[in-house]
Copies of this chain bind each other. A is one copy, B any other.
Amino acid sequence: MERSLLIIDDDADLSFVISDMLEGYGYQVTCAESAEEAFSLLENKSFALILLDINLPDSTGFEICRELRRVSTVPIIFASARTSENDRISGFDIGGDDYLPKPYSMKELLSRVNALMRRTYGYADKETVVSFGSVRVNITSRTVTKNGEAVSLSLKEFDLLSCLCSHMGTALSKERLLSEVWGAFSAVEPSTLAVHIRWLREKLEDDPAQPRYIKTVYKVGYILEAEE
């Protein structure tokens, strides 16, 4: 579903060129050459966006759109050689999201597909989650849970944990951690880092004195170890 597109157009050559281009930009593209084929695809799979030609051998794009809108809010871009204003307006009024007159350039199609994807799915920031042991760290929402219960971390604690998480399994030097969390030219003492590590261990480790995840690398810094 994620980034899957459906192109409904009886011009198979054109569809091929388009799908080739869009796949190059990370979309998975499926093509249908008739309304019948389109409906049978739509029965088995849902798509993130549909590119819809208006002239089809066995129906019209308008008709397909009307059918679809009874049950779905999937984003629809009409594409057609019919460029009259009446056609464009019909397209929008029966539930289309955009109307692209043929012939169109690949670049413009891509821009419009991207824009509509962004509007429909996009501004919702996608979540990045890292976990170790019973701890789950949601980098996006800046929340942490242990055994399913929320753990409240301060700003610096979270930034520090976040830095460790994004390099899990790699030892990070104290200098590196200080510069990533406190800023490149900050003048905080290394002991400050030690204290914040301590607090993270208290909140996340079962036994803070015998850490299983946030381990010390003597003379270097710290490492967040993955499962043993």
Contact = CB atoms under 8 A, between A and B. Distances in A.
Q: Identify whether the interface residues of A are mostly helix, strand, loop, or mixed.
A: mixed
A150 B73 CA distance: 29
A225 B138 CA distance: 14
Given A92-B112, A170-B140, A171-B141, A155 B220 contact: yes
A61 interface: no
Contact of A93 (B96, B111, B154, B228): B111
A85 interface: yes
A115 interface: yes
A114 interface: yes
Contact of A108 (B89, B118, B150, B228): B89
A66 to B, nearest CB: 15
A217 B105 contact: no
A225 B142 CA distance: 12
A123 interface: yes
A87 to B, nearest CB: 11
15 contacts: A75-B119, A85-B107, A88-B108, A92-B111, A92-B114, A92-B115, A98-B98, A116-B119, A141-B169, A142-B171, A142-B217, A142-B220, A143-B169, A150-B228, A155-B218
Interface pairs A-B: 3 shortest CB-CB: A92-B111, A141-B170, A73-B123
